[in-house]
């Protein structure tokens, strides 16, 4: 279940990284958003939290801009893991969690 919140609250709670809509759909396939934001035009973004960091993805994301090439590279890696038949479901989840950690370390460095 995700909770409605405001952009101001999320920015005060987490270090946020903005990602376009569906740009990390394979990397975040085992994750559920913790929050969402909306405005006069409807839904704005989902907020995925990882410790002190948050990935904000949607139509109107906010936070520090991320390099689109980096985002595409990590999502492509996640896609190859997610669609690999030799891994079990649990192994895929573990590998994608490691990839998320590596992605966030790259962003915060």
Q: What is the pTM of this model?
A: 0.93
The rounded distance, in Å, linking the Cα atoms of 27 and 33 is 13
Nearest partner of 54 among 63, 41, 65, 67, judged by Cα:
63
Please give the pLDDT value at position 84: 86
Per-residue pLDDT of the chain (109 residues; tens, 9 = 90+): 999 999 999 999 999 999 999 999 999 999 999 999 999 999 999 999 999 999 999 999 999 999 999 999 999 999 999 888 898 999 999 999 999 999 999 999 8
* Domain edges within the chain: 3-108
Please give the pLDDT value at position 80: 94
Please give the pLDDT value at position 47: 98
Please give the pLDDT value at position 109: 81
- Beta-sheet pairing, 42-50 with 64-65: unpaired
**Phi, psi angles (nearest 5°) of residue 81:** -70, -45
* CB 66 within 8 Å of CB 19: yes
């Amino acid at each position: 279940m995700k909770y409605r919140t405001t952009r101001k609250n999320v920015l005060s709670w987490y270090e946020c990284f903005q990602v376009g809509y569906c740009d990390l759909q394979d990397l975040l396939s085992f994750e559920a958003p913790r929050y969402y934001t909306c405005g006069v035009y409807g839904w704005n973004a989902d907020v995925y939290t990882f410790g002190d960091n948050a990935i904000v993805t949607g139509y109107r994301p906010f936070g520090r801009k991320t390099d689109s090439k980096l985002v595409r590279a990590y999502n492509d890696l996640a896609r190859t893991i997610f669609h690999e038949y030799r891994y079990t479901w649990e192994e895929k989840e573990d590998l994608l969690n490691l990839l998320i950690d590596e992605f966030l370390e790259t962003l915060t460095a």
